[in-house]
Chains A and B, each alone.
Chain A
Amino acid sequence: MDSNKNFVVGVFDDEDVLLSAVEQVREKGVRIHEVYSPFPVHGLDEALGYRRTRLPIAAFMFGITGTILALFTQTWMLGYDWPMDIGGKNHASLPPFIPVTFEFTVLLSAFGMVITFLIVSNMKPYSWPRQFDLRSTDDKHVMAVDLADNKLSKAEIGRILKDNGASEVNEKNF
């Protein structure tokens, strides 16, 4: 993590105030580093202008990999590698392979997606996160503004945050 970063941190009590503040602050030309909330606030991602996550695509890709892998493995094992005559039925037929194929699809899709999520969100059990305000997991919404990203001065940003409903404005250096 790069050293000597200076942030202005706005603390908000209410998610509706926060939502309108995010829009107002961005309109004033302030670039927001990130907003930290104790629970998901609906519409916040759009207000911050984030692109929709592509995790569903990742989940689909992992899932389809599971489907193909499971179908291929079962057909190869029972159809080609060691065909078994069970009541004169086909060595490899599709219907009995569906349950395992389905389960494997779900397994790969779920695990692949969650692992992708942890990687893209940079979440590791051994890393301590940069905490702007300890109350952001309790009951406050915390808006962090990186001074290096903005041309406006510390005081100006602080004033804009205050004007838009921040209950506190603090400074945080890392």
Chain B
Amino acid sequence: MQVTSTIRETLVTGGKTVRDVSEDISRQVEGKPTNLWWTAFGISLVFLLFGFYCLCMLLWNGIGMWGLNKTVGWAWDITNFVWWVGIGHAGTLISAILLLFRQRWRMSINRAAEAMTIFAVICAASFPAFHMGRLWLGFYWALPFPNAFGSLWVNFNSPLLWDVFAISTYFSVSLVFWYMGLIPDFAVIRDRAVRMGSKTRALIYNGLSFGWQGGAKTWMRYESVALILAGLSTPLVLSVHTIVSMDFATSVIPGWHTTIFPPYFVAGAIFSGFAMVLTLLLVTRKVFHLEDYITIYHVELMNIIIIITGSIVGIAYITEFFIAWYGQVPAEQYAFINRATGPYWWAYWSMMTCNVISPQLFWFKKIRTNLVSTFIISIIVNIGMWFERFVIIVTSLHRDYLPSSWSMFYPTMYDVGEYLFTFGFFFTCFLLFAKFFPVINMAEVKSIVKATSEKKH
């Protein structure tokens, strides 16, 4: 029997019963999509198609279509790559780390957050993949296949190769973790379909649920698998952004060559990820009427994580500056002064305002429990974190060692186009997920309904 302290906030409001949980969550899978859904889906498809056109042009003509030049060889592509990977991290944090810490408030948000992780990682992976120019040779270049000229292998000393392994492992393990969570919920929809007499749906969802029955023995094994997957995902998620940061940290470029990068990147990833989770969930909650499952209390807890990680990121920015001064390396000092006062000062100060100042507003309870202000700040944080990656990447590169090589980066339509493509892809996938898959983990929420739900009086 589960006992919960009476002073804990209720996690499921509205006096829901176990039966209400299946009803509320399965209903939108069973019903027809609303006009709002079709509108959003249409807009996403437009983005996807425009981006697809830009990608085709890029593949046909090569990455010279982007605004890159000899000095700034990495810009929007890698910025967007790091930005999307970072967003993905919140999903794993919610589902794995909070599971290990036995935080029950994760239960009604983990499904959507993990879906976000998976789609975000696909978006992220598309950037380095297209940056290779000849996408179809990607497997051959990135995986350890013997080279045609001998048996020259891939270079396992390179962080870029570690990234290939980290991102692909992260994607596949997150996918398995997410799918494991979905299995019992697909069975709920199957059994409801049988009762409603909808044969095709029953067959499809039975296939998706792998013929789930929910026996005590299977549940026992299932919980063991979930716990171990959480245990594996926790170091995995930390390793992924650590390795992403090593793409920069192991180089000798002033502004990149810093040991603070791994923890700073991981904190930034969780920071931006939670902002994206909030942006998505506040909309999902409204559209699917999930106010009783995703409560103000959930929003407040996520905002508290944003304050913590935002402050860590702020301290990291200051530490970088301090170490540049304290380290007494002129190139390093120049890189940092140039960031704040050089031609990209506007990007630096946008980053500082969005990432360091705006989350501090959440110290006020009124602001962190208000949905409108949360939504606005979550978007500001997302913008700020994009600028952070842009600042790190472009400002460190644009002033080369030789002043004759100094240059600026100007994005072309194709830079913007691929970014829009990932947005289109992300929202198309998320909308399909929200329509055809249960957006809240029913089995987990059911297990806490009795202990934490408000009682009807």
Contact = CB atoms under 8 A, between A and B. Distances in A.
Interface in A129-170: 129-131, 134-139
A100 B156 contact: yes
A65 interface: no
Interface stretch (B46-54, B73-81, B219-227, B403-411): B219-227
Interface in A1-37: 14-16, 19, 34-37
Nearest to B2: A42
B219 A44 contact: yes
Contact of A19 (B1, B17, B162): B1
Interface residues of A, number: 64
B144 interface: yes
Interface in A23-75: 34-42, 44-45, 48, 50, 52-53, 55-56, 59, 73-74
B239 A103 contact: yes
27 contacts: A19-B1, A35-B216, A36-B214, A36-B216, A38-B446, A39-B219, A45-B217, A55-B228, A59-B228, A73-B144, A81-B151, A99-B165, A99-B166, A100-B156, A102-B239, A103-B165, A103-B236, A106-B232, A109-B232, A124-B211, A125-B207, A127-B211, A130-B213, A131-B213, A137-B191, A138-B19, A139-B17
A104 B222 contact: no
A139 B215 contact: no
A122 to B, nearest CB: 8
Contacts of A121: 217-218, 221-222
A132 B156 CA distance: 54
A87 to B, nearest CB: 10
Given A100-B165, A110-B232, A138-B188, A41 B210 contact: no
A135 B153 CA distance: 56
B319 interface: no
B22 A106 contact: no
A83 to B, nearest CB: 10
Nearest to A102: B239
A125 B208 CA distance: 6
Interface of A: 14-16, 19, 34-42, 44-45, 48, 50, 52-53, 55-56, 59, 73-74, 77-78, 81-82, 84, 86, 89, 96-97, 99-100, 102-104, 106-107, 109-111, 113-114, 117-118, 120-121, 123-131, 134-139
A125 B219 CA distance: 18
A39 B219 CA distance: 8
Given A77-B156, A97-B156, A99-B166, A34 B215 contact: yes
B204 to A, nearest CB: 10
Contacts of B176: 110-111, 114
B-side interface size class: 35 or more
Contact of B169 (A45, A77, A107): A107
Given A37-B219, A96-B157, A129-B211, 12 more contacts: A36-B214, A38-B442, A45-B219, A48-B216, A102-B239, A106-B235, A110-B172, A121-B222, A131-B194, A137-B190, A137-B212, A138-B19
B133 to A, nearest CB: 24
B383 interface: no
Closest 4 A/B residue pairs (Cβ): A123-B210, A139-B18, A99-B162, A39-B447
Contacts of B191: 131, 134-138
B187 interface: yes
Contacts of B218: 121, 123
Contacts of A36: 213-216
A130 B208 CA distance: 16
Given A99-B165, A107-B172, A39 B216 contact: no
B122 interface: no
B132 interface: no
B216 A82 contact: no
Nearest to A35: B216
Contacts of A74: 156
B192 interface: yes
B239 A125 contact: no
